[in-house]
Amino acid sequence: MSQAQLANEIKYKMALSLLKSMLEKGLITLSEFKEADQINQRLYIPQLVEVYM
């Protein structure tokens, strides 16, 4: 895995963690969570996305 891809993996994991926290606190709905996660997946193109979910 390249340094750039590793950086994208880390950025995606951080974004996912933030989204999960927001969902748990009721700040966003499950629908909003899923939509934001799809956007993040397109943005960061994580290769290990199945591991994070």
Q: What per-residue confidence (pLDDT) applies to 27?
A: 98
- Whole-model pTM: value is 0.84
Q: What per-residue confidence (pLDDT) applies to 52?
A: 66
Q: What per-residue confidence (pLDDT) applies to 48?
A: 72
Compute φ and ψ for 51, nearest 5 degrees. -70, -35
4 burial (CB, 10 Å; 0-12 / 13-18 / 19+) is: exposed
Q: What per-residue confidence (pLDDT) applies to 32?
A: 98
Q: Which residues contact 28 (CB under 8 A, 6 or more apart)?
A: 19, 22, 36
Q: What per-residue confidence (pLDDT) applies to 50?
A: 67
Q: What is the pLDDT of residues 1-53, one digit of tens each?
A: 799 999 999 999 999 999 999 999 999 999 999 999 999 999 999 887 666 66
Centre a 10 Å sphere on the Cβ of residue 40 and count the other Cβ atoms it contains: 20
